[in-house]
Amino acid sequence: MPRFVVEADGGSRGNPGPAGYGAVVLDPATGETLAERAEFIGVATNNVAEYKGLIAGLTAARELAPDATVLVRMDSKLVVEQMSGRWKIKHPDMKPLAAQAAKILPRAQVTYEWIPRERNKHADRLANEAMDAGKRGEQWEPSRSTAFAAAPPAGPPGDAAKGAAAVRAAMASGGGTGTRAAAAAGTGADTLFGATDATDAPSGDAQARAAEAAAVRAASAVARDTDTLFGAAEAPAEAPAAADGTGPRPAAASDGGHATRTAAGTGTGTGTGTGWGPDMGQPATFVLLRHGETALTPQKRFSGSGGTDPELSPAGRRQAAAVAEALAARGTVQAVVSSPLRRCRETAQAVADRLGLPVAVEEGLRETDFGAWEGLTFAEVRERFPDDLQAWLDSPKAAPTGGGESFTAVTRRVSAARDRLLSAHAGRTVLLVTHVTPVKTLVRLALGAPPESLFKMELSAASLSAVAYYADGNASVRLLNDTSHLR
């Protein structure tokens, strides 16, 4: 069953006065905007405009998938409480609007959540664009909207973007200007290595204080337990960063020999273990292992789940043995889960045999289906399917030629697999043996990075990456593209 998030808002310049609404439908797995709605509705009150926005958002969700479950997020306490059934609807103007909203989707498919105004900026900007258009004697036009570019992401739920949005909200509201933790999470590496304790700044209202607290919790996800990498007692020495290319790269192609590690979660200073907020307990840590080489890997050919399912080459088997020894030396992996494709299962079995663990298979960890591009090099695809390739590079919604998977579809699949594995392995260190796109997708989601970041990460065969997931929904990237065990 599909799942959507609807964010809606309405406003009136005069209350009553010239009014408009805005609504956006989001994919909760990726944070991607699926639909936008906005309209100038003439003279009305704030509450009428808010209900109109809710109706528009639910209608857009129904048009996308009538059987979808929908989480509605609004900064109108009145609408959220009334539609949740906790407050009575007394105003005569509100009753027919609430009834109309309730009929759009079955009640069991819709839940409501109040959010602060600073987390509803996308819908708020749409509403203001609609009112601005009405002032000009026009109606809102999607092609002229800047709401998506201007709004800080509020999600996707369960990913680091959720915590990052809280940091940005605290800073935007003014409540975080004197908060070391919020500034740390917003500006980067200076806080990961022995930052001083956070200090609280005075806050003008309860919402700002709540946002500031959320910022501290977000910062804690990257600052606490910083002496470990995927559950090891001590982090290995930092390797030199790889020099990434700046141009677009196909997700299936990656060079060997480059080792890149992130600073996140590997700080060596003192003082980061306390003062950052409540202890969320032991995180679930996914150690992400890209499979060893196949015959196609050094040729940099697209090799997804729609091709020949090649086995490991002799070089790939040597790589699998090397990573097995490295992981055995760490002694922290508690379970092994593999993509169903042969090259991953062979890599996973080599590690599992060395660790004395069984291998479980997770279908969601398979590589992208590259359609007609399977087995081709990037240059060959550019020569044969130039328009399709450019569309694929430009948009995560574009699929490879011949019925392949878009990155949007892969993200949904990988996100669902991640959530299943987190539920099954809370607090454990799990080795996931998978492919380029799933690893990059998990890292991207943990960082709250945009889809185009998939083309800006290097990921070598048999490389190790790691992401820790905390109980408060935040994630911390601990390692990226480590190939030190292969040298």
Q: Which residues pair with 74 in a beta bridge?
A: 8, 114
Ramachandran sector of residue 423 (left: φ over 0; alpha: ψ -120 to 50; beta: rest):
alpha
Interacting residues of 67 by C-beta distance below 8 A, sequence separation 6+? 1, 2, 109
SS3 category, 407:
helix
* Chain CA centroid to CA 210, Å: 23
The edge-to-edge listing of strands for the beta sheet with 69-74 is 33-44, 17-26, 3-12, 69-74, 110-114
Burial (CB count <10 Å: 0-12, 13-18, 19+), residue 40:
buried
Catalytic machinery residues:
291, 367
SS3 category, 369:
coil
How far apart CA 154 and CA 197 sit, in angstroms, is 27
Report residue 248 as tokens.
Answer: 């677009």
How far apart CA 27 and CA 159 sit, in angstroms, is 13
The b/e string for 406-420 (b: 16+ C-beta within 10 A; e otherwise) is bbbbbbbbbbebbee
